[in-house]
Structure 1
Amino acid sequence: MALISLEDLDGLDDEQLDDDITDNPEPMDEDERLLAHWQAVASTHQVSVPQEMTGPIQEMTRNNQQREPLPFTPISCHEKMGEVLYEERVYPAGHWASVTSGEDLYEQSISMAFMKLMRFICKENSAGRYLGMTVPVVSHVHMMEDGNTFEKDVQTSIFLPAEFQNNPPQPSDPDITIVHREPIRIVARPFFGTTTEETVGRQISQLWEIVGVTDNLRRDDYMVAVYENPGVPHRRNEIWFIRRNL
């Protein structure tokens, strides 16, 4: 069973916490109440939250309003009858914290990776401090030779906050790597709801139908950008196609 993902670990309030612990007759302190809430959320996603995540959960909850957006340069926006079909953007070069995971399911892989990245953000780093959160969280999907099936290994990454771009803190977890990526030009289409292999695969097919056949977009790699936690109805995500050249 996979662990709960980073996107699950914010957006709660006292009323939600009280709802989650009404069946527990034992008095609970704040840390226990937070953990109980996210264990309840996790059960709906068929994932589990270990006891040692109490500290990172509390840290992320305390700082859940302080999110730094990933910077980009807009290139174009394509609309039809007021609906955004897709946008083109260029994201700058910079340092990312990345984890590659290869579980049985795509959603399990990103959940395992998110948990590691969350601990890195929450003080398990050479700076010994909370680093701050950027959005979106981006997962890099590689396709098998048939062009339709995801490879098991999925790389999930967060862009380091501006404060740490020139001198990135090093992770305590050897599974996390700090990588420098060159600028990337992407075609982005929004979608809403869950991010499973099925839903992501469907979004890939739909965007190909919109943009048509072109050699300038890669077919072997895609990215999935997640902006909000699963408690948000119709939460916002994007599928990213990667242009071969800027």
Structure 2
Amino acid sequence: MSYFSQCQYYSVPSDSETMKNLVALIVLSLLSLHCTAAQAEDINLDPEKLPAFCTSYKCPRYQLVRKYEKFEHRIYNATNWVTTSLELDFLGIGLVKSFKRLLDYINGQNSEGLEMKMTVPVRIKVPMSDILSTNATMSFFVPPAVVTPPTPLNPAVYVEKLPEISVYVRSFGGYALNSEYEKQAKILVKELVALELPFDNSYGTAAGYNDPLTFFNRHNEVWYMAM
């Protein structure tokens, strides 16, 4: 991301390994989606239509503020997420541990013994200044039917209540490997800088929507919070 060094106010760290590790995490985490999606009861009976890229999974609702040539500005409704810390090691051990903690929660390891079906996206948030930061997190979206998410039994897991948020989103298809996520993140940042749209560059977010056995119409996203 070296060309960002020319942008002072919107500068982004030049270490491309940050986004590469972010991408590796989201790709690996989705390997478990296919196996877990059918394990638990679908408690969300909301009949309203969701975005097509959510396929059969429940996902957050949003309003499209504006569609630009290469990205979208969305405002997401207030949402609940179940979140845990993520250790960014190069072997992916931290990824497995974090995913397992969240999976245990939706499979009933909570104060009500409530089981929830897998949702999308799997959200990974990583500070852009330090790829080994302990502030990285992994989150599962809590379906809206669960109005008050039960308390996790594992103290390393917590419920995150997000207010309405404004987000710049770049979507892309295919099986996204590290280089492709990095490319898409660069495109998004370049567009935001060119249009002088203020955004929070202190962290990056990757959102994945498909299990590995979905071969067509795959959907991936990179996010930056609007300011």
TM norm structure 2: 0.70
1:75-114 residue CA offsets vs partner (Å, 9 max, x unmatched)? 11123xxxxx111101122321101111313965444322
Q: Find the counterpart in structure 1 of residue 39 from structure 2.
A: 59
Tell me the CA shift for residue 6 of structure 1: 4.8
Q: Find the counterpart in structure 2 of residue 95 from structure 1.
A: 80
**Which amino acid letter does the alignment assign opposite residue 156 of structure 2?**
D
Q: Find the counterpart in structure 2 of residue 17 from structure 1.
A: none
**Which amino acid letter does the alignment assign opposite residue 223 of structure 2?**
W
Question: Which structure 2 residues correspond to residues 5-24 of structure 1 after superposition, within 5 A?
Answer: 6-11=29-34
Match of 1:71 among 46, 50, 61: 61
The question of whether the paired residues in 2 share the 8 Å contact of 1:92 and 1:183 is answered with: yes
Q: Find the counterpart in structure 2 of residue 155 from structure 1.
A: 137
Tell me the CA shift for residue 136 of structure 1: 1.3
Q: Which structure carries more relative contact order (alpha carbon 8 Å, separation 6+)?
A: 2
Tell me the CA shift for residue 58 of structure 1: 6.4
Over alpha carbons, which structure has the higher Rg? 1
Q: CA RMSD in A?
A: 2.9
SS at match of 1:164: coil
In structure 1, the gaps of 5 or more residues are: 12-37, 39-55, 80-84
Question: Which structure 2 residues correspond to residues 53-202 of structure 1 after superposition, within 5 A?
Answer: 59=39, 67-79=57-69, 85-105=70-90, 109-144=94-129, 150-153=131-134, 154-165=136-147, 167-192=148-173, 193-194=175-176, 196=178, 198-202=179-183
Q: Percent identity?
A: 21
Q: Find the counterpart in structure 2 of residue 206 from structure 1.
A: 187
1:50-77 residue CA offsets vs partner (Å, 9 max, x unmatched)? xxxxxx68615x86x8521211111111
Say if 1:178 and 1:127 are closer, same or farther in 2 by CA, change over 3 A. same
Q: Find the counterpart in structure 2 of residue 20 from structure 1.
A: none
In structure 2, the gaps of 5 or more residues are: 1-24, 43-54
CA–CA distance in 1 between the matches of 2:121 and 2:171?
12
1:211-234 residue CA offsets vs partner (Å, 9 max, x unmatched)? 334361111112111100123236
The question of whether the paired residues in 2 share the 8 Å contact of 1:5 and 1:114 is answered with: no
CA–CA distance in 2 between the matches of 1:209 and 1:96?
29
CA–CA distance in 1 between the matches of 2:28 and 2:127?
20
